[in-house]
Amino acid sequence: MCCGRVDLEFVLRAFSKGMDGVFIGGCRLNECNYITHGNYHALNMVLLCKKLLGQVGLNPERLRIEFLSSGEGTLFAEMVNDFSRKIGSLGPLGASEGLDRGELTSRLNEIEKIVPYIKMAKRDKLEARLENAEAAEGFYTENEIQRLLAEIVSYHIDPDRCQACGICLRKCPAEAILGGKKQVHVIDQEKCIKCGTCLEACPPRFGAVLKTTGAPAVLPAHKKQPAAPGVSPSP
């Protein structure tokens, strides 16, 4: 399998499930066996993930990526053994970082929920080709990641504009939109993955889905959906 298929969500989930470390091995850069050069994407993903791990309080060295050919079995064994020794010195997940397991899992789950948003926000960097270690150093900065997490977008539906057409509800990949026939739809912020599908799906003539940055949705998910304009409230 191409290492480019190792999704950011997979890595975060591994740590949230209690893995002490994650090792990713891929083809040498510019020597892709699948012509997709997914190893560049894997490298960018790992660099991003390391910064995210730092934000939740984990040692970024718990995640490592190495590039080698399929004929370098001895080198592979040396890399894995070295990584195992490193993880052994760090100890169980969260131990050397002084983190409570429950709190750590909660932090990782929160980031895992917004992976689709993170991948869209950093799409250009994730698609870049870093040719050497110097280019990788500082590719993502602490301030950049802090700003990314602080300025997370949210989507909500304006009850005065919603026509209860159901288009956004059917398109939502996370089933985060609540509503029914002749009922204004509401976005459940706990389920929303910030992908923006609802914004794209809402017909321009309605413009009911609104995007905000760094602010909570104006209509709480638990609030009863009002009737759509021009229709009677459902029983």
Say whether both 202 and 167 belong to one domain: yes
Say whether both 93 and 206 belong to one domain: no
Say whether both 157 and 209 belong to one domain: yes
pLDDT at 132: 72
pLDDT at 232: 38
Mean pLDDT across 9-18: 96
Does 219 map to a domain? no
Say whether both 163 and 48 belong to one domain: no
pLDDT at 21 over 70: yes
pLDDT at 217: 41
pLDDT at 221: 39
Say whether both 124 and 190 belong to one domain: no
Does 230 map to a domain? no
The domain of 159 spans 153-213
Say whether both 114 and 60 belong to one domain: yes
- What is the total count of domains within the chain? 2
Mean pLDDT across 55-79: 94
pLDDT at 122 over 60: yes
Task: Give pTM, 2 decimals.
Answer: 0.78
Say whether both 7 and 52 belong to one domain: yes
pLDDT at 108: 94
Question: Tens digits of per-residue pLDDT, 154-207?
Answer: 999 999 999 999 999 999 999 999 998 889 999 998 889 888 999 999 999 999
Q: How far is CA 183 from the centre of its chain?
A: 31
Mean pLDDT across 15-25: 96
pLDDT at 226: 52
Q: Report how far residue 122's alpha carbon sits from residue 118's, in angstroms, rounded to the nearest whole number.
A: 6
What's 170's domain CATH number?
3.30.70.20
Say whether both 100 and 61 belong to one domain: yes
